[in-house]
Structure 1
Amino acid sequence: MHEVDVIIVGSGLSALIAAQSLCKHKKVMVLTKGHQTDNNSILAQGGVAVAISKNDHWLEHLRDTIEAGAYHCNESVAKKLVQLGPLFIKKLIDSGMTFDRQSSGELMLGQEGAHRKRRIIHAGGDATGRELMTFLQRLIMQDVHIVEHQTVQELLIENGRCVGVLSCDAQGKVMPFYAQHVILATGGCGDLYRYTSNSSVATGDGLAAAYRAGARLTDVEFIQFHPTLLHSGDKVAGLVSEAVRGEGAILVNERNEPIMEGVHLLKDLAPRDVVARAIFERIQHGEKVFLAIDDINQFEQRFPTVTSLCEKAHVDLTMKRIPVVPGAHFLMGGIEVNENGETSIPRLYAIGEVACTGVHGANRLASNSLLECIVFGQLVAEAVLSKQDYAQTRRATYEFNASCSLSFPTKSMIQQQMTKKAGIIRTEETLKQLIEQFGEELDRLSSHAFSYTNEQLTIVNMLTVGKLIGEAALERKESRGAHFRLDYPFQCNEQWGYKRIIKQIQNPKVQQFSSVMGR
């Protein structure tokens, strides 16, 4: 039997920040679905948004966050994010993390979409995520037990609180892991879509497990589609950071006509949902869209990661045109948590993209995601350390090999249906079709719950989260931020003020799942 103080599910930036803050005080175990480097954090290019310049202020960062979030943000929590950001970044720097600096020694500051100030700090040019992850992995390697190739199948609930997880290894062996505290840091669900910037492990596993355990989910209809994924041979070959547009690149069609002229006051640096829809509409009309990088000096030196992606995809940068397409990038909603990362289930926490603190509203401001991981990873750790241990009870034993002989839909089919029916533009008709289709599949497979192989569980999780996204998108009869309904096309504006509409989702069959698990 495996028992520790804290289990963290996931190995991205928020997981490592929490682990680093906890490991000197608690016995911490990290369970990760693949290799510890299989996550979205390590792919993050742009950097960390933080009001650290003497010419900037957290109030301005807050304003940009709320405006990009289409006035759907939880203002008090967003305020905490931008206020604590500079403090926690300084702590990272003091502990040895190096960010790119000018020859004068001052931090280099980039600019991205919907930011009115240059406030993006970065490392390794456009390799900020990789640099942060490498640094933190080095810090925790002696104190944190990382177990790779463990797919969490279910959360274990006893007496109304989370006491551990049921996990399946690469050989199909299922076993329990127990802890005083369980932190979900499993990332989002970008791989539900055909085009995505996400790692292939981002299939909504944490969302599905939390839903089955009875935790509340909210705002899952808000999926951000990044405007500029590198497009080569009808496939996505990686992300082209928004920082490229921040340094002067513009979006053009095949006739070199700027496509953002007259679309938004900020043109190519408009909020991501605006830019993504503009590109999507051009592509729908048979046009191709490119990033024109003519005005960026020494592109290869400033953006080595993008340069490498282009070279691997056989995109000739001497032509100064990078072919792009929008794709699923970030989930603004998720497991509902308070400002300390606590979910509706005691002793269960969520941080990073799997969580919904409300800081991103309906559309995340560029480079606020890494800041969220850093700030709320620390706050979750503080919440865990503030709690007393509870008396342990006699543990149930689970040990069996996962197997199921039913036929399952393919991942590709799910991705195609999500892209077509719950993608950048949605309608009542397409959403109802998606909900019915995925619901029928889940009903067919539900009698075999808890005996899935890891591959089969991935499909079940994708169907579950896809259906929840469809249901939430159908209920939100408005267009707001990244959620665009063709049948309700009006977008909110500043006159609406700070307005937060929360769609809480809770599984009506929680007791059924609990009884099946013997809890």
Structure 2
Amino acid sequence: MKRDESSIIVIGGGLAGLFCALKLAPTPVTVLAPHGVGPASSSFWAQGGIAAAVEETDTPEVHAEDTIRAGAGLVDENMALGMAREARARVEDLLAFGVPFDRGEMGLLAPSREAAHTHRRVVRVQGDGAGRAIMETLAAAAARTESIRIVEGRVARRIVTQGGRAIGVMTRDEKGEASFLPAAALVLATGGIGRLYRVTTNPPESCGEGVAMAAEAGARIADVEFVQFHPTAIDVGEDPAPLATEALRGEGAIIVDRDGRRFLLDIDPLGELAPRDIVARGIFASIARGDGAFLDTREAVGSAFPERFPNVFSRCMAAGLDPRAAPIPIAPAAHYHMGGVWTDARGRTTLPGLWAAGEVASTGVHGANRLASNSLLEAVVFGARIAEDIALSSPPAPEAVDVRCPPRDAAKPQAELIEELRTTMSRDVGVIRDESGLARAIRTILRLKKEAADEGTAAMLTTSLCIACAAYSRRESRGAHFRADFPKSEPAQAKRSLFDLDSILRRAAIFQEDT
């Protein structure tokens, strides 16, 4: 079916969005990438790689079992198995586009092992450069594809609905001028929420605005309380924090306190290779005790560091650290959001006409705690599924509708307000949570919402409110969500959380009355 340029719109120029657009070719697609494709996306920053059972000793079924085990009882098992079974095909797609995945003897793929994986199945590029290599390759492929139009300098601000269906998106340019782009099919691929936190590995664009837009349009959100903190951000005061890839621990690097003691073995017999939530809490507690936390790579990697992990090495050296000579200071940092906009197996949200893929989506494959390197895999698997679903569903070309765009928004992001929000989220909705801290966060966010003057800041506050309210409601500890006042997992709560924005606002209203 012939569609005009804007009949299919992808919001986001990261891996999920670009892969979906490429899979839709030769159908025309408009990709809204306000800051361009590449470094503006979290995909570009990913170091580990893509998880896939590519060795003879591994199987998709075992990959799914590892995913389910890491997800702490909330993984949708059918979704996880389906994703694992498609992993090899998606890796082959990326190889066909030209991604130079590492190879070993006889030209076979040479995967590494990361935390909570029982096999070496993380397909990577030059040790720690998978994200950059994948994004550069796909960006080049998109530039060669005539059916893909990349639109920069225009930010999506609101999903427009009519008759209970998404019919397009309201955008603003760099001057704040609004325009409406109609869409028969709208794909949300805006990335994560890491910038809501004081310490994060995410780029500045990962502000959670996609979750807010979908929720405000009426789509259901799921599992938003589950925020994964990467255990080994390099603690040198940078924002965003440089990342020491998990592959270093897979290669034998150890985590020690300032006295050189491997304290994680006191917490879990897997030590450094325990699930991320356990490792992150152990490091958080060691730092809180004043014992510090350090990643010691001297024996496991040693002098080969520059060749085996060039990205991490360059970031360390730029900060005045030589990992060949001394351990790397580390701290947990907001890294990945398991929750987001609920989707089914085809990437469809509860709002007709709207699909979601990548970190903004909640497909159920991650549960309460994402298995390392399943994020890039999820992005390509569901990006491909959405492309197929849109092609098969043949949505009609968008009708001409009269959409009134709101006045020009010239307000600049409120730096002080945003910094207060980020501090609040890190302190009260971070690695370790409790009732009093979460209540304080909700009250603070409600106050800040009254002060928000621009649309971007308001969206950040909406998503933060969703996370804080969901965390307050889950009175147990599970995966990445740890409540100090409810430190055990409760079998009765072993189910995904589902919310709409109205239910979140009703929960928040209790705290509004107290302010």
TM-score class, shorter: over 0.9
For 2:270 and 2:139, the matched residues in 1 are separated by 38
Q: Quote how far apart the aligned CAs of 1:506 are.
A: 3.4
TM-score normalised according to structure 2 size: 0.92
TM-score normalised according to structure 1 size: 0.92
- 1:421 corresponds in structure 2 to 428
**More deviation in 431-440 or 226-235?**
226-235
Matches within 5 A, 1:75-90: 75-90=77-92
Structure 2 counterpart SS, 1:276: helix
Q: 1:439 aligns with which of 435, 439, 446?
A: 446
- 1:352 corresponds in structure 2 to 358
What is the identity, as a one-letter code, of the residue corresponding to 2:443?
Answer: E
The change in CA–CA distance for 1:189 and 1:406 in structure 2 (over 3 A counts) is closer
Matches within 5 A, 1:10-21: 10-21=12-23
Q: 2:380 aligns with which of 349, 374, 381?
A: 374
For 2:360 and 2:305, the matched residues in 1 are separated by 34
Structure 2 counterpart SS, 1:153: strand
- 2:417 corresponds in structure 1 to 410
The change in CA–CA distance for 1:498 and 1:68 in structure 2 (over 3 A counts) is farther
**More deviation in 220-229 or 33-42?**
33-42
Structure 2 unmatched ranges of 5 or more: 506-515
Q: In 2, are the aligned partners of 1:109 and 1:118 still within 8 Å (CA)?
A: yes
Q: Quote how far apart the aligned CAs of 1:266 are.
A: 1.1
Q: In 2, are the aligned partners of 1:33 and 1:151 still within 8 Å (CA)?
A: yes
Matches within 5 A, 1:19-38: 19-24=21-26, 26-37=27-38, 38=40
Q: Quote how far apart the aligned CAs of 1:309 are.
A: 0.6
Structure 2 counterpart SS, 1:239: coil
**What is the aligned residue count?**
496
For 2:54 and 2:417, the matched residues in 1 are separated by 46
- 1:513 corresponds in structure 2 to none
- 2:211 corresponds in structure 1 to 207
Matches within 5 A, 1:98-177: 98-142=100-144, 143=146, 144-177=148-181
- 1:52 corresponds in structure 2 to 54
Q: Quote how far apart the aligned CAs of 1:498 are.
A: 11
Structure 2 counterpart SS, 1:261: helix
What is the identity, as a one-letter code, of the residue corresponding to 1:504?
Answer: F
Structure 2 counterpart SS, 1:317: coil
For 2:72 and 2:277, the matched residues in 1 are separated by 10
Q: 2:488 aligns with which of 472, 487, 490?
A: 490
Q: In 2, are the aligned partners of 1:41 and 1:130 still within 8 Å (CA)?
A: yes
What is the identity, as a one-letter code, of the residue corresponding to 1:317?
Answer: P
What is the identity, as a one-letter code, of the residue corresponding to 1:156?
Answer: V
For 1:235 and 1:154, the matched residues in 2 are separated by 28
Q: 2:389 aligns with which of 361, 376, 383?
A: 383
Structure 1 counterpart SS, 2:265: coil
What is the identity, as a one-letter code, of the residue corresponding to 1:27?
Answer: P
Q: Quote how far apart the aligned CAs of 1:458 are.
A: 2.3
Deviations 1:253-309 (A, max 9, x none): 111111211211211000000000000001111122110112224111110000011
The change in CA–CA distance for 1:102 and 1:413 in structure 2 (over 3 A counts) is same
For 2:251 and 2:37, the matched residues in 1 are separated by 32
Deviations 1:212-264 (A, max 9, x none): 11110010000000000011147654111000000010000111111211211
Structure 1 unmatched ranges of 5 or more: 446-451, 511-519
Q: In 1, are the aligned partners of 2:70 and 2:275 still within 8 Å (CA)?
A: yes
What is the identity, as a one-letter code, of the residue corresponding to 1:435?
Answer: I
Q: In 2, are the aligned partners of 1:188 and 1:330 still within 8 Å (CA)?
A: yes
For 1:255 and 1:392, the matched residues in 2 are separated by 64
Are 2:284 and 1:280 equivalent residues in the alignment?
A: yes
Deviations 1:29-71 (A, max 9, x none): 1112323221100000001110111000111111110111101
Matches within 5 A, 1:257-268: 257-268=261-272
The change in CA–CA distance for 1:234 and 1:337 in structure 2 (over 3 A counts) is closer
Structure 1 counterpart SS, 2:346: coil
For 1:349 and 1:46, the matched residues in 2 are separated by 27
Q: Quote how far apart the aligned CAs of 1:149 are.
A: 2.1
- 1:506 corresponds in structure 2 to 501
Q: Quote how far apart the aligned CAs of 1:91 are.
A: 2.8
What is the identity, as a one-letter code, of the residue corresponding to 2:192?
Answer: G
Q: Quote how far apart the aligned CAs of 1:397 are.
A: 4.3
Q: In 2, are the aligned partners of 1:74 and 1:500 still within 8 Å (CA)?
A: no
Matches within 5 A, 1:249-264: 249-264=253-268
Q: In 2, are the aligned partners of 1:230 and 1:236 still within 8 Å (CA)?
A: no
Structure 2 counterpart SS, 1:349: strand
Structure 2 counterpart SS, 1:104: helix
Q: Taking every aligned residue pair, what percent have the same amino acid on both sides? A: 37
